[in-house]
């Protein structure tokens, strides 16, 4: 080996040694960086039932997520369907357990599931149900989300608008408000019933507070007074799925039973307070 060849070998060796050292240093730096967590190993999601409890039991309309669970995906829905405020058979015979089991267990549940799916990857994720309804109402591009979120909200409000052994004329201050704004309880009942009977196709009949006055309004499909500047006080679902198993096409009989046997005036009073 002559001197030139020896020098070339030495340079080659030094170059390789430097490359190995640089690789080791780089690897150590990478290992020192915070590593991304594996899916499913992040913070535990908020247990179902805690993420979206109503702020107060009597106001299920406020049911919605207080905060989204970190990393929550479709399998960790941030909105949870509130429980029925009574057993499924508690409203019989006015509304059968069969109707409630389908209405609550299939229809209402489905609206929550669809809403949870639709908010994934949008700014609506992590908002309360009421915020989603109001936000989605602002643009036609959110129509599908509005329909499902508003139906979820409306139904939660509907369950609270009824109670076993409810209905009939209210008493006390509420009776005076009804007399003042409708003339009499009978006039209120006639107007509410007529509004339900006259409502074309699917929708809702509401008792609302509008500019300080009690009013009866009806809304179509998923529409809700929440996005109309009116304060909902009570509601009757007049979609056919609410009454068809029990009353067939006799919507008037269903609404009469709602007013005579079910309407929760305590809930109305709480919403007015
Ligand atoms: Fe319904």
Domain of residue 180, CATH code? 3.55.40.20
| Cβ burial 166-180 (10 Å sphere, 16+ → b, else e) | bbebbeeebeebbee
Q: What is the pLDDT of residue 175?
A: 96
Averaged pLDDT for residues 50-67: 36
Mean per-residue pLDDT for 237-265? Answer: 97
Residue 161 clears pLDDT 90, i.e. is over it? yes
Quick one: average pLDDT of 43-54?
33
- Of the two residues 255 and 8, the one the predictor is more confident about is 255
Domain count, the chain: 1
Query: Considering only CA atoms, which of 118, 154, 106, 125 is closest in space to residue 65?
Result: 125
- With pLDDT > 90 as the criterion, what percentage of the chain qualifies? 71
Domain-embedded: residue 144: no
Q: Residue 77's pLDDT is what? A: 53
265 domain-assigned? yes
Cα 153 to ligand 1 centroid, rounded to whole Å? 11
CA 159 to ligand 1 centroid distance, Å: 10
207 lies in some domain: yes
Q: Kindly state whether residue 206 falls inside one of the protein's structural domains.
A: yes
Residue 192 falls within a domain, yes or no? yes
Distance between Cα 189 and ligand 1 center (Å): 21
- Flag whether 92 is in a domain: no
- Please give the distance, rounded to the nearest whole angstrom, from the Cα atom of residue 111 to the centre of ligand 1: 10
Q: What is the Å distance from ligand 1's center to 103 Cα?
A: 6
185 falls within a domain:
yes
pLDDT recorded at residue 139? 86
pLDDT at 66: 33
CA of 108 to the centre of ligand 1 (A): 7
51-55, 92-96, 236-240: which has the minimum mean pLDDT? 51-55
* Residue-number span of the structural domain to which 209 is assigned: 172-272
Confidence of residue 128 (pLDDT cuts 50, 70, 90): very high
């Amino acid at each position: 080996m002559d001197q030139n060849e020896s020098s070339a070998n030495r340079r080659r060796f030094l170059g390789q040694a430097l490359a190995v050292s640089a690789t080791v240093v780089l690897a150590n730096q990478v290992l020192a960086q915070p590593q991304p967590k594996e899916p499913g190993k992040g913070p535990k999601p908020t247990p179902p039932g805690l993420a979206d409890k109503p702020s107060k039991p009597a106001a299920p309309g406020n049911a919605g997520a207080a905060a989204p669970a970190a990393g929550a995906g479709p399998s960790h829905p941030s909105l949870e369907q509130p429980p029925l405020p009574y057993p499924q058979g508690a409203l019989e015979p006015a509304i059968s357990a069969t109707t409630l089991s389908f209405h609550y267990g299939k229809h209402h549940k489905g609206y929550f599931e669809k809403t949870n799916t639709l908010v994934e990857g949008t700014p609506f994720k992590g908002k309360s149900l009421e915020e989603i309804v109001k936000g989605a109402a602002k643009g036609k591009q959110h129509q599908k989300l509005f329909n499902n979120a508003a139906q979820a909200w409306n139904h939660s409000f509907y369950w609270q608008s009824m109670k076993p052994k409810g209905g009939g004329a209210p008493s006390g201050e509420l009776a005076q408000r009804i007399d003042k704004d409708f003339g009499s309880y009978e006039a209120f009942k006639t107007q509410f019933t007529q509004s339900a009977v006259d409502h074309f196709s699917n929708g809702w009949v509401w008792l609302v507070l509008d500019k300080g006055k009690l009013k009866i309004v009806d809304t179509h499909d998923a529409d809700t007074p929440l996005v109309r500047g009116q304060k909902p006080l009570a509601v009757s679902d007049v979609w056919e799925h609410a009454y068809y198993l029990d009353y067939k096409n006799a919507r008037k009989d269903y609404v009469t039973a709602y007013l005579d046997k079910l309407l929760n005036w305590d809930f109305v009073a709480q919403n007015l307070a």
